[in-house]
Structure 1
Amino acid sequence: MALTSTEKQRRYRQKRDQDVKKREEYLRKGRQRWMQYKASGKVKAISEKSPREQRQQRKAWRHSQRASHARKKDRQAQLTPPTSPVEGIPHPAMHSRQHIQGWKKVKKDRAACYRANQKLEILVQQQKQMLEMYKKRYSRLKNKITPLMLIVLEQRLESYYDTNK
């Protein structure tokens, strides 16, 4: 009977991993290949990525971690037989309605605080930009005005205040 490609792969890997020298050579080549990828720029460290790329990478990591945990949990559930419930003792994983509602409220409040903080951070950033803009305007105006222009401006201001009293 012919072997499937999966079985062929499994046998090849088992044979390779049984010999310590072959296994070390395989691992060394893998490390070397990774170093070449990093050196050529095909793979970047998280610190070398832009903030947007960092967010995307971390989101992908979170997603794969959740999937991995779910697969592990499913495997564990398939391997362990179901437990028989004991009369009168509630299941430890069960939570009361109040407990669940309490956590929903906490999560909702945290999300609201997070959104408010995000809005405030944006507002602070905008205020900083405006401050820089006005500082720049002031410095440019200061460099533009000559002493003679200052005298003329002061006279105009005095006449303006005199007429408006």
Structure 2
Amino acid sequence: MGRPKGKNPPLTAAEKQRRYRARRDADPGRRQKYLQKEHDKYRSDIESGKKKRIYNVSEREKRRRRRKWRETYHRLKARKEAQELIITPPDTPQVSPVDPADPQPRISRQQNEGRRRSRKKIKKLKEQIQELQMLLKKQVRKTEKYKKQTQRMKKNNPSPRKKVKKQMRQLPREAIQKTLLFHEALVQDIRNKYTKAQGEKERQIIAKIVTGKVLKKYRLQRFALNSLGFSKKRWNHEKEGRFNF
């Protein structure tokens, strides 16, 4: 059984929603109530953690949101301009009187020159925009490249503190004992080497190891000096930056 003649086809869900929004927005009171409701819902989602503000999300999510905002802005701007053209169409340009023998309106030389300059300027601006977009993409790729390199370097070169924490969590007891034994043996060898050193130069080389930046960073100098058997006098010399051993 076909549709009765004279009746319009049923509305789709999208068309029904569009008409509902149009009726709602036509009423200032209903629209204000709807906007307030959406505002309250957004604040509730922020407080509950369901949504996050832009300064609390990752850089990738920031770029996605800003791109979406720009698209929405341009879409709404185009819609507003189209509505303004419908409501107030542009004034009809004044044309010079038409000669019955020549029905085509004449365009002055100044108008042609103005159009030519406008087209040239628009073309130049488009070329500049394309060039800037290419430079921006190139810079973004370079930034991402260095960022990944830095992340890989940090991952492949962990600090001594991170290494110790990882070993304490993951290594079995036997491996930890072996590591500690290695450190004790190494300290003993350095201590013996320092004690049996014949000349001042050799002792200075060993002392400089103890004053390295890594030991200073983790405040292990005193521990290292005591482990290697340095005297208090030599410890004071080390603090003052002197190596008269």
TM-score category, normalised to shorter length: 0.5 to 0.7
In 1, the alpha carbon distance for the partners of 2:137 and 2:149 equals 19
Gaps of 5+ in 2: 1-18, 95-106, 164-181, 194-245
In 1, the alpha carbon distance for the partners of 2:145 and 2:42 equals 43
Note the 1:1-165 alignment, pairs <5 A: 17=29, 30=37, 32-86=40-94, 88=108, 90=111, 96-129=118-151, 131-132=153-154, 136=158, 146=186
Gaps of 5+ in 1: 152-165
| TM-score (norm. length: structure 1) | 0.54
Q: Deviation digits for residues 28-70 of structure 1, max 9, x if unmatched?
A: x735544333322333222222323222222222121111101
Matched length? 133
Structure with larger RCO (C-alpha < 8 A, sep 6+): 2
Higher helix share: 1
Residue identity opposite 1:72 in structure 2: K
Decide which structure has the larger Cα Rg and report it.
Answer: 2
Residue identity opposite 1:55 in structure 2: R
Residue identity opposite 1:39 in structure 2: E
Structure 2 counterpart SS, 1:96: helix
Query: How big is the shift at 1:138?
Result: 9.8
Query: How big is the shift at 1:77?
Result: 0.6
Residue identity opposite 2:71 in structure 1: H
- Relative to structure 1, the CA distance from residue 107 to residue 76 in structure 2 (aligned partners, 3 Å threshold; closer, same or farther) is same
RMSD of aligned residue pairs (Cα, Å): 4.2
